[in-house]
Amino acid sequence: MPKVKIGIADNSEFHYYQPSWALAAVRLLDFDRHKRPLKSMIPKGVNFLENSVARFMPEENTVSLDDGSKVSYDCLLIACGLEMNYNSVPGIKDALDNDPQVFTIFDRLYNCKAFDALNAYSGDGPAMYTYPMDENFKCRGAAAKILFLSDDVFEKNNIRNRRLVFVTPKDYMFSVPRYNRPLLKIAAQRNIEIRYESEVCRVDHRSRNVTIRHPDGSEEVTRYGLLHFTPEMRTPSAVRSCLDLVDKSGFVQVHPDSMQHVKYPNIFSIGDCSNLPTSKSAAAVSEQLYTVVPNLQITLQNTGEPLKTTYTGYTACPLLCGHKRVVLAEFGYGKKPMETFPLDQSKPSRLIYIVKKYWMPQLYWHFFVKGLWTGPAGMRKWLKRIFFWTRKDVELSTVS
């Protein structure tokens, strides 16, 4: 294949290992250790444009950048992630900016408030944890992870009168029943209250009150002692304002198995900003690479070869459920479990906690960001062959 010129348009100064953010919030990992200057990560020969895309012009195969320059392309890969949308709940931005007891681990600016907030909690008023209505947000499991990690902190601090409340507009804690069940069991053991089909619709940090809307439309005002907020998220404005590129929710509209844009064959999208109907995570991106990289090559070579349609919606979420244990949720489209390890991953595991804490960051920095890790599909196949007798439970559970 002739040498391809590659340009990366991104104005970020740093790249963060976001899967560490839940553990970093409770200082089980160091936040700054998993941060690198983006410039230092760009491979030799790649043109780093140091600007983000300000406007997409897909009809002209051109984008304009923040500095006003225009760049044309043969092929475009959109992987620009998501931004927080704090507008959906009045008062929350003010509370995040001004109340030390309100934080969100999803935003690095407010993640650093977590540790002090958790340690300042004395049991005076419930510790509340929210889940948003719109499920397009990244790392959905993190909304539950921080609940269990917090309870460990309260337990360590011996806060006997603690009250933890998880408020969700859904009827589950995690959308896949196989992994929801163990989480609910742990929540029950820890006396965590779950308010189903309810949502936090207003926050007033001056009086430390949240308003919860119930399924029947009635509203209840409750005092909080601590509030972890999970914001709604949306694609950056350059993406969502280009209506030719996006679906009704503002996400880049691609075919779910090839990641090719539904309207523009030379555009692909992966990761959080795409409308791939699966839970957004780094693990999901790793398996998307397995399909999208050859598809970019096929499109650039223009040989008429059919595109690969191998992405099955794989995603993974190591659900930290307290006491240094992890339920490793791995599933594809239709919530079908796709577990890699030869053990029942729906059971909280210390071994997987060690994998999550020590092995995953290495995999990420040394292989994933260099394009050398394209997901665990091959590993799963081999482990399944070697340990075939241990996997019966997963095969049986694919329906629920």
User: Of 10, 261, 376, 394, which lies in the binding site for ligand UQ1, with binding defined by CB under 6 A?
Assistant: 376
- Catalytic residue check, 321: no
Q: Is 316 near ligand UQ1 (CB under 6 A)?
A: yes
Closest separation in Å from C-beta 291 to ligand UQ1:
15
Which of 19, 141, 322, 348 binds ligand UQ1 (CB under 6 A)? It is: 19
346 near 391, Cβ under 8 Å? no
Classify 163 as helix, strand or coil.
coil
Catalytic residue from among 139, 242, 273, 321: 139
Identified binder of ligand UQ1 from the candidate list 21, 131, 174, 368, rule CB under 6 A: 368
Q: Which is nearer to ligand UQ1, 39 or 370 (CB)?
A: 370
Residue nearest to ligand UQ1 (CB): 283
Tokens 């929540």: give the residue. Answer: 187
Please check whether residue 105 is in contact with residue 127, taking contact to mean a CB–CB distance below 8 angstroms.
no
**Residues 245-304 close enough to bind ligand UQ1 by CB under 6 A:** 282-283, 286
Q: How far apart are the first and last CA of the chain?
A: 45
Q: Does 226 bind ligand UQ1 (CB under 6 A)?
A: no
* Spatial CA neighbour of 315 closest among 338, 289, 295: 338
Helices (H), 99-139: 108-111, 114-120
User: Are residues 58 and 238 in contact, defined by beta-carbon separation less than 8 angstroms?
Assistant: no
Q: CB of residue 126 vs ligand UQ1: minimum separation in angstroms?
A: 31
- Of 18 and 198, the one with the shorter C-beta distance to ligand UQ1 is 18
H helical segments located in the chain: 21-25, 92-98, 108-111, 114-120, 142-156, 177-189, 237-240, 282-301, 350-354, 360-366, 377-386, 392-396
The reply to whether 80 sits near ligand UQ1 by the rule CB under 6 A is no
Question: Which position among 28, 343, 363, 383 is part of the footprint of ligand UQ1 (CB under 6 A)?
Answer: 363
Tell me if residue 139 is catalytic: yes
Task: Give the residue numbers annotated as catalytic, written as ranges.
Answer: 139, 317
Binding site for ligand UQ1 (CB under 6 A): 19, 282-283, 286, 316, 318, 340, 360, 363-364, 368, 373, 375-376, 379
